[in-house]
Amino acid sequence: MRLLGRVGSSVKWRMCRGVKVAEAKTIRVQLVRSMIGRPEKQRVVLRGMGLTKMQKTVQLPDTPQIRGMLNKVQHLVRVEE
């Protein structure tokens, strides 16, 4: 068995090539405010999450690292769990 992306108690198991694999919870993030005029640190965080254009939505794993990134740009994005 392989364990991938274990996050607290939000682990789901699935079969992958005959091996039981953990599936981490994901969150949807949408860029709703523009990056224009924002500090470079915030732009780098948004690009790191894959948000490059307005209204773009991405699915990201629900990890402490992603939560920290979302905290830095919470005024620019919409989060759906």
- E strands, the chain, are 11-16, 19-24, 26-31, 57-61, 77-80
Q: What is the mean pLDDT of each run of 10 residues along the chain (81 residues)?
A: 50 59 82 97 97 97 96 97 85
Give pTM, 2 decimals.
Answer: 0.71
Q: Cβ atoms within 10 A of the Cβ of 7, count? A: 15
The residue among 42, 27, 35 whose CA lies nearest residue 78 is 27
- The pLDDT score that the predictor gives to residue 10 is 53
- The pLDDT score that the predictor gives to residue 29 is 97
List of domains in the chain: 25-80 (3.30.1390.20)
- The pLDDT score that the predictor gives to residue 1 is 45
The residue among 78, 69, 64 whose CA lies nearest residue 43 is 69
Upper half-sphere CA count for residue 49 (Cβ side, 13 Å): 35
